[in-house]
Every structure is written in C-alpha cells, then in structure tokens.
Amino acid sequence: MKDLEQLLFKFKKIKNYNSEDFFVSESNFFAYNLVLKWPNWGKNILNLYGEKFCGKSHLCDIFQNKFGASKIEASDLSKNFISQFKTHQNLIIENFTENIDENTMYSLINIIDRDNKFILINSTKPINKLDIKLKDLLSRLNNCIFAEINIPDDELIFAILLKNFSDKQIQIKKKYIEFIIKNIDRSYEKIYEFINKIDQTSLKRKKSIDLKLIKEALKN
C-alpha cells in the first residue's frame, strides 16, 4: 500500500478538483470516466452496477449536475412518466431490478432509440442478468454498455474512512487507519457499518478511538 501521506495528498487533490466530492481510484475509474464521456458512450444506454454503497447514486448525481437529466426510481416507472420524459434528453433510472414495469421500460427504450436520447441506469447486478420475462426487453438490455464499480482498493477505503471520520469530527491516528485498511472486509457496506459502529461505541463510552476499540468493531 502507498504511504498514507501520499494517499492523503491524493485524496485532497482530487477532492479539490472535483466539486462533487467523488474519490476516484482503480476500483471505480472505468465507471467514472465513462459517465463523464457522455454523449460519447458508443450506445444510448449505460448500466452502472456494483454492490450497495459503492457510489452508483453519487455518480448519477454527478452526471445529472454536469449534463442535466430527469431522474426516477425504477419502482416508480409507469406509462404516465413516458410523456414527461419526452421533453428531456437524458434519464437516470435508480435501483433497477427485475420488478421493473417491463412493458413501460420497453416503450421507453423505443423512445430512446427513436429520438437519440440517453439513459443512465444503476443496479446492483448487470441488468441483462436479471430475471426479465419480456424477451424483446431483454434483447435490448443485452445491447447496453456496462460499467462495474469493483470492490474497494486500499486508496478508496482510505478515502471513505478519511471523509467519514472527518464528517463525524472523529480524530484518529494514521497508524490506526492503516490497521483498519489491512483488516477490514473489502465491502462497501461493511466499511460503512464499521464507521457507524465505531462512532456510536466511542460516543457511548465517551472514549477516543484506540486499537482495542477498532479490533472490537472489526470483529462484530
């Protein structure tokens, strides 16, 4: 792993450069870069996928702020929405699952193709791997471009820890951060669970964070 001072500098540099506060590492570089290449995606539908808390929605917000887009939860997609979307160039669909209204989604894709519009879809799995019953829709979903956000690397774990500890006004020694990075599960959800757990435990016990507390939080 790189020296923590170098990682801290890298994080601050990117944070200052990117007002959206999104840290870029090898884990998410491909997805981040592709989102910002709009409209040069090569296709009109981009599926951004990865595990919970990996930053999919954050990237969608960056896209919306930079390029403009209408946004809707996949569970709210209905025929009534289609007429509203016709006035927009870009659409973001959040949390796409197999429970999507398949006929409405198929109609929406037809509009996308006909009018040369764009959809950014986020999901935990590739949308063409979901249990889609409508064969015509599945065929269209197979023709998307896909970008995965991978499990977090050391740099990204460091950035997540640093930002969240800073937001919670938690002071922690660098050697403890290094210990956490070496021992924590490579899961975004587990990382956030750990941060909340150690914060709550520290507050409850009115005790600063030390190695004993860190080990306890990592075990639970």
Q: For residue 59, what is the domain's CATH number?
A: 3.40.50.300
Amino acid at 11: F
- The CA-atom distances, in angstroms, between 80 and each of 86, 105, 108, 184 are 11, 12, 11, 45
| Same structural domain, 113 and 96 | yes
From 99, 116, 148, give the residue that closes a domain.
148
Residue 140 has pLDDT above 80, yes or no: yes
From 119, 148, 177, give the residue that closes a domain.
148
Q: What is the pTM of this model?
A: 0.86
| Same structural domain, 43 and 120 | yes
Higher pLDDT, 59 or 8: 59
Q: Give pLDDT, residue 20.
A: 56
Q: What is the mean pLDDT of residues 120-136?
A: 98
Tell me the HSE value of 215 on the side-chain side, using a 13 A CA sphere: 3
| Same structural domain, 40 and 144 | yes
| Same structural domain, 73 and 176 | no
Q: Domain of 85? A: 29-148
- What digits encode the pLDDT tens for the residues 80-113? 888 778 778 999 999 999 999 999 999 999 999 9
| Same structural domain, 55 and 128 | yes
Domain count, the chain: 2
From 148, 182, 199, give the residue that closes a domain.
148
| Same structural domain, 183 and 131 | no
Q: How far apart are CA 122 and CA 148, in angstroms?
A: 10
Residues, the chain, total?
Answer: 220
| Same structural domain, 100 and 175 | no
| Same structural domain, 64 and 168 | no
| Same structural domain, 48 and 142 | yes
Q: Give pLDDT, residue 169.
A: 84
Q: Give pLDDT, residue 12.
A: 46
- Which residue in 99, 83, 31 sits closest to 60, CA to CA? 31
Q: Give the CATH number, domain containing residue 188.
A: 1.10.8
| Same structural domain, 166 and 189 | yes
Average pLDDT, the chain: 89
| Same structural domain, 69 and 95 | yes
| Same structural domain, 15 and 100 | no
For the CA atoms of 124, 58, 157, 52, the dihedral, rounded to the nearest 10 degrees, stands at -20
Question: Under 8 Å CB-to-CB from 141, ≥6 apart: which residues?
Answer: 45, 47, 127, 128, 130, 132
